[in-house]
Amino acid sequence: MAITLSGDQAIPGPPLSSRLTPAQVWGIVLLAPYLLVFLAFVVYPVCYGLWLARAPANYVALYNDPIFARAAVNTLIFLVIGINIKMLIALFLSGFFAVQRPWIKWLSVIFILPWAVPSIPTILSVRFMLNPEWGMVNHFIFSLTGEDGPNWLNDPTVALSMAIAVHIWKSLPFWTLILITGRLAISNDLFEAAEVDGASWWQKFRYITWPSMQTLYVTCTLLSMIWTLGDFNSVYLLTGGGPADLTHVLATLGIRYLRLDQLSLAMASIVCAMPFVLPLVYFMMKRLSR
Amino acid sequence: MKLPSLREVGTEARLLLIGIPVFLWTMIPIYHMFLFAISPKEDAFSGKLWPDHPTLHNFHIVFYQEHYFLRDFWIQFWNSTVIALAAGALTLFIATAAAFSISRLKVPGGRWVMNLALFTYFIPAAFLAVPMYRTMGNYGLLNNHWSLILAMVTIASPYAIWVLKQASDKLPVELDEAAVMDGATTLQLFRLVYVPLMMPSLVAIGTYAVLLAWNEYLYAFLLLSKDTDITLPVALGNFLAADDSPWELLMTTGFIYALPPAAVYYAFKRYMVGGLTAGAVKS
């Protein structure tokens, strides 16, 4: 830059402002608001949180807390089983919605509703549907079989499955939409050629659709896994972590510790998730910042 | 008219076999909410598919705040609106400025900031909630609407910057060069060239941020607690505090709360789908 040497003494360059072009000065000014928000509400809280969670005793306490272990297992089930089911359905439905029919066009408009409406009222709606005495589901079961239906949210396995179902209900339209975009990008000529050659639908999927969509599909699955780690609403508003704190996931566990005034445990439980989250985040960033 | 062949009927039947379950799966929770909203309490709890005496009385109770749980309904509605609009406007301002700075002015270190933002975008928001809650306490912002607005801006801006940067990278450099040649200052370039050209993306991002803030539950319930400060979703959650909650009123309020975002979504769908899904996942 403008720093020159004279003799053996470095003469300081001109002041910073004149070394930058006016456009660059504006660039810094315009970037400043975001940097301020980032420093005040991301960097500071994260550092503060890590500082709160610094004592090894927290991790011992977590290790000894059966609810933490249960929440970790639940989170894993949620991610590995829930997300894969969701993405497979989304992949399947993206093929369905790609079919050209007027009524399918209308259905696709309706199909997006769960994504368009806020999750709180709909989750609460499902919660009442599953009410053992008054809910619609058990009324329906009773009128069909004459037997009382199960107490849905009182069994941890069923309750967690229901939370996963609610999550799928909410976010399936979004991922289907993305996969439809990917599918529509495939040239129609390929399918027409395959049609002429008499390929079955499985062969068309296996040799045309899947090869061109697999990158997108894997990216979507990973991204959905990262985001689902933070799905607080589906569990908290449906089961509240119950029965007996057996359906917590990591996202709700932090809030549970916070309510019990165990802030350092709340932070420590999040820190424990980081070894799994950070590699995924790193991978996604590599993919998206190309 | 030609009769459809057996093969065509078969295809159509198979499509319907998928379409009908998809329709039912999508609509049942929403229909259930609507059903409660138009049912008197006895009908709602009887599990009927259509009430014997459909009524708009529940809406009357909500609008006139005639129930203990609803005594601050309008002020909570107002809180939700103000917070959503403020978060949208602020996100739009911060993200547009940052995207312009990174993409058009090529500010030194811009790429670095972009990566930091992207990193925040991928960290699940629920993980940041606990430290954010404490931080807002340290700043003395708890129970102040600004805490929720700023939290929403923090969560919305990374994605906003990223989408806007992708969009503005596509604008030709020659535009900027021509404007500068004509003697435009940087601010004029921003105001008269950049913002008008970016309009579709700006609409999409503004809508995204407004909806994000309107729909937010976790942060809202952590950061705000007074009945006259909270937003509608928190008020809905508070219904659960009682054992004999008036579910028909809860569902009515929820229905009213869900209408504006659904309307906004469908009104701006053109922008949302073009601007957001294309940017959401780049294969």
Nearest-by-Cβ selection for A121 from B120, B258, B280 = B258
Which of the four pLDDT bands, split at 50, 70 and 90, describes residue A4?
very low
Residue A2, pLDDT score: 41
Which one of A16, A42, A210, A238 would you mutate to disrupt binding with B, by most B Cβ within 10 Å of its Cβ? A42
Cis peptide upstream of residue A243 (ω within 30 degrees of 0): yes
Residue B137, token pair as written in the block: 């306490």
Residue A7, pLDDT score: 41
Is A51 near chain B, with CB under 8 Å? Answer: no
Is A59 near chain B, with CB under 8 Å? Answer: no
For the ranges A27-36, A69-78, B80-89, the one whose mean pLDDT is highest: B80-89
Q: How many residues does chain A have?
A: 290
What residues of A are in contact with residue B253 (Cβ under 8 Å)?
Answer: 121
Which of the four pLDDT bands, split at 50, 70 and 90, describes residue A77?
very high
CA angle A77, A82, A88 (to 5 degrees): 140
A22 CA to centre of own chain? 41
Residue A78, pLDDT score: 92
Angle at which helix A156-184 crosses helix A119-129, to 10 degrees, equals 130
Backbone angles phi, psi at A172, to 5 degrees: -55, -45
Nearest chain A residue (CA) to B187: A26
Q: What is the mean pLDDT of chain A?
A: 85
pTM of the model: 0.88
Backbone angles phi, psi at B230, to 5 degrees: -75, 165
Which of the four pLDDT bands, split at 50, 70 and 90, describes residue A23?
confident
Residue A87, pLDDT score: 95
Residue B1, pLDDT score: 56
Residue A10, pLDDT score: 45
Q: In 10 A of CB B210, how many CB atoms? A: 26
Q: Is the pLDDT of residue A287 over 70?
A: yes
Instruction: Identify any residues that bridge with A9 across adjacent strands, giving them in sequence order.
Output: A6
Q: How many residues does chain B have?
A: 283
Q: First-to-last CA distance in chain A?
A: 29
Q: Is the dihedral of CA A130, A131, A135, A141 positive or negative?
A: positive
Residue B17, pLDDT score: 92
Q: In 10 A of CB B92, how many CB atoms? A: 23
Q: First-to-last CA distance in chain B?
A: 45
Residue B218, pLDDT score: 92
Q: Is the pLDDT of residue A20 over 80?
A: no
Nearest-by-Cβ selection for B126 from A178, A230, A287 = A230
Query: Containing H/E element for A177?
Result: helix A156-184
Q: How far is A9 from chain B (nearest CA, A)?
A: 28
Q: Say if the Cβ atoms of A33 and B97 lie within 8 Å.
A: yes
Which of the four pLDDT bands, split at 50, 70 and 90, describes residue A124?
very high
Is A46 near chain B, with CB under 8 Å? Answer: yes
| Sequential pLDDT tens for chain B (283 residues) | 567 788 888 888 889 999 999 999 999 999 999 998 998 887 777 777 788 888 888 898 889 888 888 888 999 999 999 999 999 999 999 999 999 999 888 888 888 898 888 888 888 888 889 899 999 999 999 999 999 999 999 999 998 998 899 888 888 888 888 888 888 888 888 888 889 888 888 988 999 899 999 999 999 989 998 888 999 999 998 888 777 788 888 999 999 999 999 999 888 877 766 555 555 544 3
B48 sits in the region (left: phi over 0; alpha: psi -120 to 50; else beta) called beta
Q: How far is B145 from chain A (nearest CA, A)?
A: 15
Query: Containing H/E element for B221?
Result: helix B218-223
pLDDT per position as a tens digit, A103-114: 998 999 899 999
Q: How far is A8 from chain B (nearest CA, A)?
A: 30
Cα A110 to Cα A104: distance, rounded to the nearest angstrom: 10
Query: Which residue type does A199 have?
Result: A
Q: Is the pLDDT of residue A1 over 60?
A: no
Compute CA distances B257 → B137, B143, B198, B214, B270, whole Å: 28, 22, 31, 9, 23
The complex scores an ipTM of 0.88
What is the 3 state secondary structure string of B129-174?
HHHHHHHHHHHCCCCCHHHHHHHHHHHHHHHHHHHHHHHHHCCCHH
Instruction: Identify any residues that bridge with A10 across adjacent strands, giving them in sequence order.
Output: A5
What residues of B are in contact with residue A285 (Cβ under 8 Å)?
Answer: 115, 118-119, 122
Average pLDDT over residues A196-207: 86
Domains of chain B: 6-63 (no CATH), 72-280 (1.10.3720.10)
- Cβ atoms of residues B32 and A139 within 8 Å: no
pLDDT per position as a tens digit, A253-270: 888 888 888 888 889 988
Is A26 near chain B, with CB under 8 Å? Answer: yes
Residue A16, pLDDT score: 53
Angle at which helix A210-229 crosses helix A156-184, to 10 degrees, equals 140
Closest by CA to B144, choosing from B232, B226, B235, is: B226
Average pLDDT over residues A278-284: 87
**Between A and B, how many residue pairs show a Cβ–Cβ distance under 8 A?**
268
Residue A162, pLDDT score: 93
Which one of B36, B127, B240 would you mutate to disrupt binding with A, by most A Cβ within 10 Å of its Cβ? B127
Nearest chain B residue (CA) to A114: B26
SS3 category, A53: coil
Hunting for tokens 């969701």 — which residue is that? A86
Residue A251, token pair as written in the block: 């996202």
Nearest-by-Cβ selection for A120 from B254, B265, B278 = B254
What residues of B are in contact with residue A227 (Cβ under 8 Å)?
Answer: 124
Residue B174, judged by CB atoms within 10 A of its CB (0-12, 13-18, 19+), counts as exposed
SS3 category, A186: coil
Which of the four pLDDT bands, split at 50, 70 and 90, describes residue A289?
low
Q: How far is A7 from chain B (nearest CA, A)?
A: 31
Q: Say if the Cβ atoms of A285 and B119 lie within 8 Å.
A: yes
pLDDT per position as a tens digit, A177-200: 889 888 888 888 888 888 888 888
Nearest-by-Cβ selection for B258 from A34, A117, A287 = A117
Cα B223 to Cα B219: distance, rounded to the nearest angstrom: 6
For the ranges A5-9, A148-152, B125-129, B255-259, the one whose mean pLDDT is highest: B255-259
